[in-house]
Each structure stands twice: as C-alpha cells, then as structure tokens.
Chain A
C-alpha cells in the first residue's frame, strides 16, 4: 500500500553479518551505533534477527566457510531489503583478492545496493551509506529477491510461497 511506503525510511532495522572480516569494520559499525554517532536517531535498531531486518550490513571478504551462512541469512530477510557492503574487502576482496580461501566480495553471491569503501570504513561513511540505502529501500518493490548462487528453487506449497529450499546447498560449488 502506498500509505506505508514513507515509513520504510523512518525505521530501518539492520542486521550485521561478519563474513570473515578482521573486525575493523565491525568495530566501526558498532561505533556508528554507539552514543557518539548515534544511528538510532534515524530509527535504526541493531536487531540481529534476519526475519525482522530491512538492511543487511556485511563486512569481510566472503570466506569459503561463511558463504553458505551469508546466502542463508540473506534469503531469510523479508522484502523489501537492502544490502550494504561495508569495507574494501566486502566490495572487491581488498588485500585478500585472489587468495585461495576467499570469494572476492559478496556481490558474487547476493545483489548489493550500496558499496562502502575504506579499510576500515569510517562511521561517517557507514552513516552516509545507510542514508543512501534508505532512498533505495523506499524505491524498492516487494518482489522476491534471490541470491545469485547456492540456492534451491522457491516452491509453492498450496498457494503459499515456500523458501524452505532457498538457502539449501544445491551443488558442490566451484570457486570462481
């Protein structure tokens, strides 16, 4: 409904996931949530629960082990949702690019809406990214968004959509 759409902008709840980061960006995200930079003034809550979040903050180059969790968490967030890649590692792989155990950024697995540069990216940049993401969130429709890889089909049980298989591993995945 059109009436509800402006309220997306007013209460973005974030989910933070560490996909093998060095914790530098995680500390900056927590600093942005803390009293000095105070993200809560935009209505942000750090929920920690994918089913109640709107914005997915990912840090770290995706390590081989963490990619299934990344896709699973992404598919558990109900639409409309926005993904923010925080830090150089998450956007391109950073200094780890081309190494045998990382996947060179999250955009091989899930669609990313906002990229934040920096090693580590500063709280100011993260706040800017979230404010940018709010505009994207407002413009989005409620279409189901799927991860690029590692997901099963969305099946229909009765007349309901089921995402049970969505995050299940379907094949042995080769590294790109």
Chain B
C-alpha cells in the first residue's frame, strides 16, 4: 500500500500545486487556472521540442528529480529524519551543480541563490530534527508519530519551521531562488521540454517534503497534523500574496536573526 503512495507521490504533489494555484487566484479575487493545470502543463511540456545545452546538464535535472523522489519515499517509509534531511541536501546539490554547469549568467546567479537558500534553511531543518528527537527519543519518523503533543513542547521550533516553509516552496517573501522576471527562474533557465518537466515535477515533491515536516508536528494525532498542514498552507499563500520579495542577504539575516534564536531557545528550554 505504501509503495502505491510512493509511486503516486509526484501526482499527489501536483494536486497540491494545482490547488494552490486556484487558492492564490481566489485570494486575489480572480477565477484562476483549472485545478488540474499542472498536469496539462506536464503533458504540453512532453510534446515540445527539447533544446539541450549539454548532456550532463540535462541529466542533472533528472537526477535531482529522482533523488528528491527517493527522499519523499524515505519520508513515506518513516526512515530516520536526519538521513532524510541529508538526502534532500544531495538532491539540492545536484540542482546547484546543474546551475553552475552552463555558462548562462542567470543560471549561475540562480545557483548562487540556491546555495544561499540552503545555508539559510538547512540548520533549521537539522534543529527541527534534533528537537523532535529530544521530545520523542527517536530519530525515526515511525517513532516520532507515535508520541503526542509536540506543539506544546516545541512551539518556537514550529515557528522557526514556519519561517523556512516559504523558502522551500519558493513563496513570496523568500522566493529569491526563482524570482520570476528578475533572474528568469534561476537554475531553471536553460531547461526546456522534457527536462524542464523534471524540474517542474520536483517542485511538487518539494511541497510534499516540507509539508511532511509540518505534519510530523501533529504527533500521534493524524487530524492535528492535517489541520496544521492546512493552516500552514493557507498562511504561506496569504503571506505570499501580501508581501514583496526580500533580497538574498536580507533573507539570510531574517532567518539567522529570527528563526535560529527561536529554534535554539526552544532546544535550550527542553534541555534545561
């Protein structure tokens, strides 16, 4: 049964992304695209002619997608949370290598920003894993979701996680990595056709990755987890519609001066 869910993970993420586009449109009081729009985009991209810069560049996008899929599979199977964070790091490194492997200036700029985003959110993800371990006594996700009330003991850590969700799903205050018209998609710029589709689908998997961290905070109660995910989803989209993009150094400053102390404070409070 779990293998079916793992196989369907990109489709699940696509539904989340489609729902999000509709939700954002409704927040701006417009009709928005159809709910299945991401799949229409995918089928269209399959049919387009593909322009390739060089073979390793195209291959790195595919590798990035499958590494990310493996990460999401590890989450579904309930493996060690620290492993999962580092597996995700490997996937991101493949993407950054792809960005540096072509001579486009925008691609380099995007890869730089992707690296800086990694610097911003990676410590928080590890601190979240450590915090969950300190409360539950286990790094395994299967062990974590058998204990309750994380939210009562780790409220500040949850706030820190909340601040890095927009970085991961590339939403507005912290969407420097993609930055639509500014650096034209960053590392995505030289991709087209089928290979762009892999990057497009890996975005769906990023949604599943970061929202499953939110879900773990629900603990043993699946309903609390679902409510948390829905609430964070709404909040992130609301903030996305209401704010402008900050610059990359500002983003790192905000995360290091607001989210990091919150997370550390929470850990100190538990260990006391």
Residues of B within 8 A of A144 (CB): 49
Q: How far is the CB of B260 from chain A (nearest CB, A)?
A: 34
Total of A-B residue pairs, C-beta within 8 Å? 87
A144 to B184, CA, bound (A): 25
A132-146 CB mask vs B (1 if < 8 Å, else 0) is 000000000010100
Which of B37, B180, B192 makes the CB contact (< 8 A) with A48? B180
Q: Are B190 and A51 in contact (CB under 8 A)?
A: yes
A5-20 CB mask vs B (1 if < 8 Å, else 0) is 1011011010000000
Q: How far is the CB of A10 from chain B (nearest CB, A)?
A: 4
A35 to B191, CA, bound (A): 29
A129 to B190, CA, bound (A): 28
Q: Are B48 and A79 in contact (CB under 8 A)?
A: yes
Residue of A nearest to B37 (CB): A43
Interface residues of A, dominant DSSP: loop
B181-199 CB mask vs A (1 if < 8 Å, else 0) is 1001100111111001000
B6-47 CB mask vs A (1 if < 8 Å, else 0) is 000000000000000100010011111110010011011111
Q: How far is the CB of A26 from chain B (nearest CB, A)?
A: 12
Q: Are B184 and A38 in contact (CB under 8 A)?
A: no
Q: How far is the CB of B61 from chain A (nearest CB, A)?
A: 13
Q: How far is the CB of A155 from chain B (nearest CB, A)?
A: 14
B residues whose Cβ falls under 8 Å from a Cβ of A: 21, 25, 28-34, 37, 40-41, 43-51, 180-181, 184-185, 188-193, 196
Residues of A within 8 A of B51 (CB): 51, 76, 78, 163
Q: Are B25 and A40 in contact (CB under 8 A)?
A: yes
A110 to B76, CA, bound (A): 51
Q: Are B44 and A10 in contact (CB under 8 A)?
A: yes
Is A152 on the interface with B (CB-CB < 8 A)? Answer: no
Contact residues of A between 14 and 64, Cβ < 8 Å to B: 35-36, 38, 40-43, 46-49, 51-52, 54
Is A4 on the interface with B (CB-CB < 8 A)? Answer: yes
A10 to B45, CA, bound (A): 11
Which of A10, A38, A51 makes the CB contact (< 8 A) with B31? A38
Residue of A nearest to B181 (CB): A48
Residue of A nearest to B29 (CB): A35
Is A80 on the interface with B (CB-CB < 8 A)? Answer: yes
Q: Are B30 and A40 in contact (CB under 8 A)?
A: yes
Residue of B nearest to A44 (CB): B33
Is A1 on the interface with B (CB-CB < 8 A)? Answer: yes
Q: Are A49 and B184 in contact (CB under 8 A)?
A: yes
Beyond A51-B51, A78-B51, A142-B49, whether A10 also contacts B40 by CB under 8 A is yes
Q: Are B181 and A7 in contact (CB under 8 A)?
A: no
Beyond A38-B30, A48-B180, A51-B192, whether A80 also contacts B37 by CB under 8 A is no
User: Given contacts A47-B184, A78-B49, could you give 5 more A-B pairs where the C-beta distance is less than 8 Å?
Assistant: A4-B46, A7-B43, A7-B44, A40-B33, A80-B48
